Structure 1
Amino acid sequence: MSDPRSEFLAGDRPDDVALYLADSFVDDDRLEEFGERVDGGTLIVVDGERGRSAFQAATGMGAMQFAKSAMDHEGIVDADLTGGTCPETPGDSEGDHEPEFVFAFAEEQNDDVGGIYAEGDVIHAYVQCECGTAYSDKWNPEPERDPAELEEL
């Protein structure tokens, strides 16, 4: 995992955004120049303004308008931002429910807001599923552990 991606997922890059674009959604090898090749697509971590522009160029929609529409449906977004569980997925997982793209940003801890915002930084992630459903998830990143602490476990 690249350093920018690790830092973003830890909540340490609140001025940046992350974009995951599935190979099935965007067929452009040039994306790898700007991001990290991951299973099934490319993940890019860039400053917020460039990221929102890149999102619009790749998807044809504004990032914040997309995020607002996705907030209507809660789903589960994988912590690595490359997958998730669509809320429209039937119990037997029939159908096409792979993410076409993910847009995410980190928000710094905010004690005044309360809830998970008081517990630490928050990752907000918004997914467009290939079934047509847009959904969202948010979580507190796991704190990084000292390698010495892991040896004790």
Structure 2
Amino acid sequence: MLLAFVWRAAAIVENRTIDNRNGDSHTFAIPVYRPGNVWHGKGCTTCAISPDENKAYDGTWSAATYRPNRMSSLNISFSFEGTSLWVFFILENGQKPGITENTAVSFTIDGNPDGNFVHLPEAGKGLQYNALVYSRTGLRQGQHDFLIDTTGDQEAWVNFDYAIYT
């Protein structure tokens, strides 16, 4: 009887969160941001776009503008152990003329390209919180490496808020 209980306890499915700044709720690992000197969050006094900390997950976010004339790429990486992953950004919508507001990223999981996401601002809609930009279910149970990357010749604003994995 005890063995049956232990087996059931081991089979419980659980969602865990990876916050952009506070890291993985289970392992406490923090996402890696490259290049490290261009990422900003709450309290940034020089940022043209300032999300509301009351609407961001855990009151934090990590944002940067990809500038192809200054960097070869802009990326975020983290690992997780599970079978599903959902990634959420904060998106900008036509608030400030002359500011880069579009978002364009590609995703790689376990070294394999796995799609991309593009958001073009919609004038007057303001910031969009909890925006699902990536979703993958049916992964093999185990450790996975995930990369969010921006490259190319167009500027892009990237604002990572959090991820959830099962």
The TM-score range, normalised by the shorter chain, is under 0.3
TM-score by length of 2: 0.25
Q: Which has the larger radius of gyration?
A: 2
> Which structure features the higher share of helix residues?
1
> Which structure features the higher share of strand residues?
2
TM-score by length of 1: 0.27
